[in-house]
């Protein structure tokens, strides 16, 4: 009878022999990435209550009424990535700040390509 440890050793030795013969080179399209960042905003709802994603996605659509559409994706609790299809809509949202959702302040920020979401300061908002 084999011991569990020896079975594990056999599996490890088999996986060490695995390899992929074909390589795949992945390259980012810098022009697409730059365009995407130019049309993207980050938003955070200032509230300890967790908001329903569907509600957060529907309210800005009604309030902002983007002419070319937009996509709102949740990133973490009460933080969202908003991608517009036209810069005019994005600029109008920034210029028209402040915003609120269900009586809670919505901080809207540019998302510089060299920063992660965690590095964005949501502690102040222009009025």
Phi, psi (rounded to 5 degrees) for 115 = -120, 145
Low-confidence ranges of the chain (pLDDT < 70): 1-5, 28-34
Structural domain 31-111, CATH architecture:
2-Layer Sandwich (3.30)
- Between the alpha carbon of residue 86 and those of residues 22, 68, 99, the distances in Å are 40, 6, 20
pLDDT value at position 123?
93
pLDDT value at position 113?
85
Pair of tokens at residue 37: 């960042």
Q: How far is CA 11 from the centre of its chain?
A: 38
Residue with tokens 């210029």: 95
* Per-residue pLDDT tens over the stretch 5-32: 688 888 888 888 877 777 777 776 666 6
């Amino acid at each position: 009878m084999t011991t569990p440890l020896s079975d594990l050793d056999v599996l490890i030795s088999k996986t060490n022999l695995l390899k992929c013969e074909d390589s795949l080179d992945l390259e980012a399209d810098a022009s697409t990435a730059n365009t995407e960042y130019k049309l993207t905003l980050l938003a955070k709802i200032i509230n300890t209550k967790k908001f329903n994603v569907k509600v957060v996605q529907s309210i800005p659509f009604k309030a902002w009424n983007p002419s070319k559409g937009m996509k709102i994706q949740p990133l973490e609790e009460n933080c969202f990535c908003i991608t517009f299809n036209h810069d005019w809509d994005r600029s109008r949202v920034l210029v028209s700040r402040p915003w609120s959702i269900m009586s809670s302040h919505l901080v809207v920020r540019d998302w510089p390509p060299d920063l992660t979401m965690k590095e964005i300061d949501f502690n102040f908002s222009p009025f």
